[in-house]
Structures are given as C-alpha cells and as structure tokens.
Amino acid sequence: MTTLQTPGWARTWTLVRAAGALIILTAIIGQAEVTFGGAIANGLDVGVVLVNFFSFFTILSNVGSVVILAAVAVWSVTGGRGGVSPLPRGLAVVLACVSTYMIITGIVYNTLLRGIPLPQGTTVEWANEILHVVGPIILLADVLVGARVRSLGWRVVPIVLAFPIVWVVYTLVRGPLVTNPNTGAPYWYPYPFLDPNAQASGYAGVALWVAIISAAFIVVGVLVVWVGRLRTRS
C-alpha cells in the first residue's frame, strides 16, 4: 500500500478538500458582495447582474468545486469504510467533471484573459486569483494525489463535455438578448472570445475559439480519467 492509499493520507486529504471548498466559497462570496453591492449603488438591474454573474464559466465551475469538494469530504467522514475505500462512482464522475472544468478555467484565464484589464472597483483581486489560480491548482492536485481515487471508464469523457456544450449554447443564445448593464450595449457575453462583436470575423471567429477550447476540454478530460485509471493500477 503506497503512502497515498493509507488511511492517514485519506484523513489528511479530507481536510484538504474541506479547506479547499471553504477557500473557494470565500472567494465567490467576496466577489459577489462587491458585484451586487456595486450594482445596487449604481442603480443597475440587479436581476440581470445576478444572472450575468452566474453565467461566467469561472463562477459555475468554482461553485461546482465547492459542492463536490464538500460532498466528498462529508462522505469520507460519514461513509468511507476502512479509511481507504474508493469514492462512489457518482461522486467520482462529478469530481472528474469539475476537476476538468477548473483546470480549463485556470488554463484559459492565464493564457487568454490575464492580460485583459479588469473593471476597476468591481473586481476583487484576491478573490479573482483564488477563482482562477488557487482553485484550479487545488483540483489539479486532487487529480494527481487526492485520496480515495476511483478508476473510471472512458465513457465518462462525453459526460465531462456535456455541461460545457450546454453552457456555450446558452451563452450564444442569451448574449444578443441581454443589454449590458454597465455599458448599455445591446448584447452581453461573459468572455471576449465568445463575443462575435469582438471578433474580426464575427461568429466564424467565435466558432474557431469554441472548437479550440472544446479540443482542450477533450484532452484535459481524457487526461483526468487516464490519471485516475493509472493511479488505481499502480
């Protein structure tokens, strides 16, 4: 039995998961307070701001991280028999999905979005770093060394892709139907690479970015499943 399969490591990693959920939740709340406080102070449509806030893939993936990390930690304390039993398949599948989303969030932000100026007065810098850097690192670490790993079949990869596909469709359908509450523009998109108005070739440019990021989801999803399978064999 390796160090990462011992009851001691399982207990340690349960604390890591619980702490990770708390850290990420604190960042979400910190950013939400400033976002909604600013909307109220400036007389913006709070309903639109609320929906916009939860339309960011970053926010959704981080909320998912809080839920699954907390759920796994609770299960480890209340239902994990013998201290080293693998996660139930349902929890393991959701954890694989959310881990993929968070890793992609970290990659996309730090390669495509970090250089874009953030709205001053509405972005909480420490929370922004947790949501885009610390959180993804926690979930990446969970894939690599997390306790109670469970081997999953390759059929999980299409499941991983389901939510991002739904989110992209939702974003592109909703975008031209919403007035930007900050600028008054007759459209709103959470990220510039999904905004046809910000692309020289319009929707063709958006389609290219969607294809590139979809490929990234497939690659990362395959790697997450592969690492889990490799770790259970070793």
Report pLDDT digits (tens) over 129-144: 999 999 999 999 999 9
Give pairs for 122-128: CB < 8 Å, separation 24+: 122/34, 122/35, 122/38, 123/31, 123/34, 124/27, 124/30, 124/31, 124/34, 126/27, 126/30, 127/26, 127/27, 127/28, 127/30, 127/31, 128/27, 128/31
Residue pair 160/166 in contact by the 8 Å Cβ criterion? no
Residue 1 pLDDT greater than 60, yes or no = no
- The per-residue pLDDT of the chain, averaged, comes to 92
Backbone angles phi, psi at 223, to 5 degrees: -65, -40
Residue 138 CB contacts under 8 Å (≥ 6 apart), including other chains? 16, 20, 23, 24, 65, 69, 102
Count Cβ atoms within 10 A of the Cβ of residue 222 and give its class: 0-12 exposed, 13-18 middle, 19 or more buried. Answer: middle
> Rounded to an integer, what distance in angstroms lies between the CA atom of residue 221 and that of residue 158?
9
More confident residue, 218 or 122: 218
The per-residue DSSP string of 159-175 comes to HHHHHHHHHHHHHHHHG
> Rounded to an integer, what distance in angstroms lies between the CA atom of residue 208 and that of residue 79?
45
pLDDT at 85: 84
Q: Tell me, what DSSP letter sits at residue 150?
A: -
> Rounded to an integer, what distance in angstroms lies between the CA atom of residue 95 and that of residue 11?
18
Least confident of 83-87, 173-177, 180-184: 83-87
Confidence of residue 5 (pLDDT cuts 50, 70, 90): confident
pTM of the shown model? 0.93
Helix 156-174 crosses helix 57-78 at what angle (to 10 degrees)?
Answer: 140
Residue 175 CB contacts under 8 Å (≥ 6 apart), including other chains? 187, 188, 189, 194, 195
The percentage of residues in the chain with a pLDDT greater than 90, rounded to a whole number, is 81
Residue pair 35/49 in contact by the 8 Å Cβ criterion? yes
pLDDT tens digit sequence for 57-99: 999 999 999 999 999 999 999 876 656 788 999 999 999 999 9
> Rounded to an integer, what distance in angstroms lies between the CA atom of residue 14 and that of residue 35?
32
**Residue 226 CA neighbour count, 13 Å, CB half:** 6
Mean local confidence (pLDDT), 164-187: 95
Residue pair 24/60 in contact by the 8 Å Cβ criterion? no
> Rounded to an integer, what distance in angstroms lies between the CA atom of residue 46 and that of residue 131?
22
